[in-house]
């Protein structure tokens, strides 16, 4: 059953507030202006110095249009003062485009025409955080973007519209995010005129048909050689650059795998056994099949092609890449003359929807 908003005249630009961040926040802001919405103010986040910022700035875009930009702290959102601040703008609509924090219902209720959120999955599947990363971790073949009403529960309000996006076998999280950007623009170009005119048809979300995933941390990039090669590959592509990376323990240190591909390996050895080390990389037996490492990095060292890494660390077929030390070689990885011995910089946090961490 769908619900229609009451039609209303559109003789003015409806006053709106944007809560947003990231490139999605910027393209959402642009879409509102493109479709005749007045943006009275933008609420966003300051960039975290511990994150690798690879996205466009909503704050810069809003400031260039002389729209006030505010940076509320998370704890402020539940205060009377913040509710009064929002009420003072007299918004007809509130939009959230990858804003990282839940907006209290008392604030959402201040927009008589509705409060709407853009989420990076086909809701109700992959509600919650980091949907772009999670769909790859889980080997999904399709995802998309959804526009829905905001309610007290995360990503649970009525659906306005969705846009589907296929996932290619070699998509990384960044590549998939770049596919979601034009999909979000198409979605907003369809939905915003209908919302502005009160002609959007809302349909309830059936949460029993969905799923919820929490945020990810750099520690979630850990894998084991006992996993199937396909599972490791899906993790690698889900958290490779600009995310913190997939890793396994090697010789008491962390080996980051920035790129790898699964390969057929009939009768492969025990998980972790090196099957080949050549110009194509390092091929390692896994719990099912094998994985060819293409780009790797030992903590405290620069990133290398795996073929170069194999030569530098004397990794040869028959070696076993173990947490304590790789067997079949007497070379201590920590004795290498390559790169710096300084510890890793703080890893960047992963992103996902709304939060988007």
What is the domain range of residue 17? Answer: 3-213
Average pLDDT rounded to a whole number, residues 209-215: 95
Report the domain count for the chain: 2
pTM over 0.85: yes
Sign of the torsion angle spanned by Cα atoms 153, 156, 162, 164: positive
pLDDT tens digit sequence for 276-330:
999 999 999 999 999 999 999 999 999 999 999 999 999 999 999 988 654 444 3
Count CB atoms within 10 A of the CB of residue 106: 14
Q: How confident is the model at residue 11 (pLDDT cuts 50, 70, 90)?
A: low
Q: Residue 331 is part of a domain; what is its CATH number?
A: 3.10.25.10
Residue 5 confidence (pLDDT): 54
Q: Are residues 123 and 222 part of one domain?
A: no
Backbone angles phi, psi at 319, to 5 degrees: -65, 150
pLDDT tens digit sequence for 99-135:
999 999 999 999 999 999 999 999 999 999 999 999 9
Distance CA 281, CA 260 (A): 9
Residue 268 confidence (pLDDT): 77
Cβ-in-10-Å burial (0-12, 13-18, 19+) of 121 comes to: buried
Q: Among the three residues 175, 196, 213, which one is the final residue of a domain in this structure? A: 213
Q: Among the three residues 196, 213, 230, which one is the final residue of a domain in this structure? A: 213
Judge whether 190 lies within some domain.
yes
């Amino acid at each position: 059953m769908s619900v229609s908003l009451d039609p209303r005249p559109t003789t003015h630009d409806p006053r709106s507030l944007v809560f947003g961040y990231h490139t999605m926040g910027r393209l959402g802001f642009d879409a509102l202006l493109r479709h005749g919405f007045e943006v009275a103010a933008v609420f966003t986040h300051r960039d975290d110095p511990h994150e690798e910022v690879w996205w466009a700035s909503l704050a810069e875009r809003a400031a260039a249009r002389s729209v006030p930009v505010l940076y509320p702290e998370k704890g402020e959102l539940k205060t009377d003062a913040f509710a009064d601040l929002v009420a003072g703008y007299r918004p007809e609509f509130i939009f959230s485009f990858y804003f990282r924090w839940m907006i209290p219902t008392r604030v959402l209720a201040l927009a008589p025409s509705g409060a709407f959120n853009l989420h990076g999955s086909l809701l109700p599947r992959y509600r919650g955080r980091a949907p772009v990363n999670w769909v790859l971790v889980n080997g999904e073949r399709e995802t998309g973007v959804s526009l829905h009403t905001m309610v007290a529960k995360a990503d649970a309000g009525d659906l306005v519209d969705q846009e589907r996006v296929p996932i290619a076998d070699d998509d990384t999280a960044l590549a998939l995010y770049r596919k979601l950007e034009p999909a979000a623009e198409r979605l907003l170009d369809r939905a915003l005129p209908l919302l502005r005119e009160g002609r959007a048809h809302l349909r309830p979300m059936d949460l029993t048909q969905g799923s919820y995933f929490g945020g990810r941390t750099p520690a979630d990039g850990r894998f084991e050689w006992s996993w199937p090669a396909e599972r490791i590959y899906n993790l690698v592509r889900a958290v490779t650059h600009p995310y913190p990376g997939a890793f396994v323990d090697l010789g008491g240190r962390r080996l980051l795998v920035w790129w790898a591909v699964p390969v057929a390996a009939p009768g492969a050895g025990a998980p972790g056994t090196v099957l080949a080390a050549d110009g194509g990389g390092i091929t390692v037996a896994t719990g099912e099949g094998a994985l060819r490492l293409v780009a790797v990095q030992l903590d405290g060292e620069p990133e290398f092609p795996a073929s170069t890494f194999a030569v530098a660390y004397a990794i040869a077929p028959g070696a076993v890449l173990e947490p304590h030390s790789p067997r079949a070689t007497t070379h201590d990885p920590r004795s290498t003359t390559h790169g710096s011995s300084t510890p890793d910089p703080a890893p960047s946090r992963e992103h996902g929807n709304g939060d988007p961490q």
